[in-house]
Amino acid sequence: MLSICVKQETTHYAYVSLNFPSNFVKTGSSFEELVEMMVNGTCNVMGTEEYQIFNSEIEELIESGQYVLGNESFTEEPLSAVTRNDDREWSDIVNWVMQMLIHGESNDMTQNLSLCENESSGITNAAMLNFEQSIYCAGNYGELFNKNFDKKQHSLMNTINDGTAMIYSIPLGDIMPAIDGLTAFNDRDDSDSVLKRVKRDKGKVFRCGVISIVAPIEATSLSVDYCRVLAAALFNGNSEAIEILTFGVNDSIACEALSNKSIDALAGGIVNFQGDVYGGFSYSTPYFFAEDGTENFYAFATRQDDTLFSSFVNAMIISTIHAQEVGITRETSARMPLVSLFGSDFLWAMRDSISYGGNYDELYENNFGSRFDRGRNEVNSHSGPQLLAPVPMM
């Protein structure tokens, strides 16, 4: 009889309990207990993190042929640093240190203590920091990884991307908290947020700026489609409640329009250090990667001082990728989860966004047609390299 051992209160437990009858599931409080249960026959299948298996008793049993290690992952466990959204400068510093570590690995920048400066003087803002010091003093991403993990634990997702699928959605997590969470949200003092304006000023439209991407030109129409996805999410499925303003490449007026609130968001912006730290912008998850040999990430830019709307925009971009990952299409958009994180007025936001635009593949093919080689612009099925830092870094 099938008997699956998983650790309590983990995503592994959540997945197994959702997909198997309860009498097939056994729980333990630690990895060590799971190993003991596996060895003594309490269970004949174990669900855990792959890296934990290496250098354990289970690895020896796998190598001797007594057990088999599966080759498919069923849960996502992306790890990240968490900062408070009321301290954007510190959040920028943490983010760009992480980006620099990845940039260092892909550009052969390594630890060099002779260049490590242990003190900084006269630094008054994040833009004045020398982020390369993080590499010189501590090492690049690969060096830090190998310091803490055996090299054979370096899964493909934790390696530098060389041009393969990179469109990726973080797990949605619990996006339907209790009703008291809704009440707390509705009572928040974010009166200047785009979300609160939409709720307050009925009949208004979403003002979306679009930077014209020269090559490929289809990327610009993809940006327009994503603007309409956001309009649909904001206005209960009405993708026409929108005003689109177009800007040229490297047009400083676009950034000024976002800064002075002439537009609510800017599509087609290249994720970069200057816009984030100097410009005071937040960038969404990228929805397009350059196909001209550069390593440019195209995303939505929003104002950093509107953390509520920045989070909303990012969530809607992620929703199109999530839909692709779980097989939800425009026709089956009702399968998308409700989301209460942004208040009761936007419960259907993810369903409305997919109802208009569909999943990522549908949006892409609507603008580019069916293409065999899409480079980085395919959804990463959790099996390919995912690490790449925006260029230019500084």
The string of pLDDT tens digits covering residues 332-365 is: 999 999 998 888 889 999 999 999 999 999 999 9
Q: Are 318 and 283 in contact (CB under 8 A)?
A: no
The string of pLDDT tens digits covering residues 227-259 is: 999 999 999 999 999 999 999 877 689 999 999
Question: What is d(CA 391, CA 394) in angstroms, rounded to the nearest whole number?
Answer: 8
Residues 6+ apart with CB under 8 A from 151: none
pLDDT of residue 3: 94
> How do 45-47 and 265-270 pair as beta strands?
unpaired
pLDDT of residue 300: 96
Question: What is d(CA 59, CA 226) in angstroms, rounded to the nearest whole number?
Answer: 46
Residue segments in the chain with a per-residue pLDDT below the cut of 70: 151-154, 176-191, 202-203, 251, 391-394
Residue 207 forms beta bridges with which residues? 243
CA 264 to chain CA mean position, Å: 21
pLDDT of residue 167: 95
Task: Please tell me what DSSP assigns to residue 387.
Answer: B
Q: Are 346 and 233 in contact (CB under 8 A)?
A: yes
**Coil vs helix vs strand at 160:** strand
Residues 6+ apart with CB under 8 A from 323: 329, 333, 336, 354, 358, 359, 360
Q: Are 288 and 280 in contact (CB under 8 A)?
A: no
- Which residue in this structure is represented by tokens 């649909």? 232
Structure tokens at 174: 């619990």
Ramachandran class of 187: left when φ > 0, alpha when ψ lies in -120 to 50, beta otherwise: alpha
Question: What is d(CA 364, CA 300) in angstroms, rounded to the nearest whole number?
Answer: 16
